[in-house]
Amino acid sequence: MRIYLVRHGEAVPEEDAGSDRDRWLSSRGREAARILGKLMREQRVEPDAILCSPLPRAVQTAELLAASLDHLGTVISRRCLEPAAQPRVAAGEVHAIGGSVIVVGHEPSLSSLGAFLLNRPAFPQFRTAQCCVLEDGKPTWTARADLDQIQAFFVD
């Protein structure tokens, strides 16, 4: 199983959106999501499914990644990926799909999900528009749009 944990791109400020739940991607966030999609495409990422939080910034990031990767399936929105969600339910959803899954979410729930999936007490926090890949229960690489690069990922 291959899981791509992705934090959404930069969003507009809460005061522009009216509430945190309604925040959408800023122009910089949209560009970062496109850069992340390009990096993932260069790594030959071919997801079987794309799951995301129902919040606009996560849905928009997931849709931009789907377009970059020529993913023809539907982006699946799940409340278990919202910012304050507990990782157990999200992990169950991801495992039920199996195969290669992109999961687009928020902090701190995304790093909590990473820790849960690896059975570790903690997992490094994600930057916006960052992807960390878990292959067969181990983190292997991370892609960061802000650096426009892929890096090997090592956890002791």
For residue 152, what are the β-bridge partners?
A: 141
Identity (one letter) of the amino acid at 47? P
pTM above 0.75, yes or no: yes
The domains located in the chain, with CATH, are: 2-152 (3.40.50.1240)
- pLDDT at residue 149, as a whole number: 94
Q: Phi-psi category of 98—alpha, beta or left, where left has phi over 0 and alpha has psi -120 to 50? A: left
pLDDT in tens, 137-156: 899 999 999 999 999 976 54
pLDDT at 108 (0 to 100): 94
Contact present, 101 and 4 (Cβ < 8 Å): yes
Residues of the chain with pLDDT under 70: 154-156
**Gap between the Cα atoms of 28 and 156, Å rounded:** 33
pLDDT number for residue 153:
74
* pLDDT computed for residue 154 by the predictor: 61
Tell me whether residue 118 is exposed, middle or buried, using C-beta atoms within 10 angstroms of its C-beta: 0 to 12, 13 to 18, 19 or more.
middle
pLDDT (0 to 100) of residue 155 = 54
CA dist 3 to 8, 22, 47, Å? 16, 27, 9
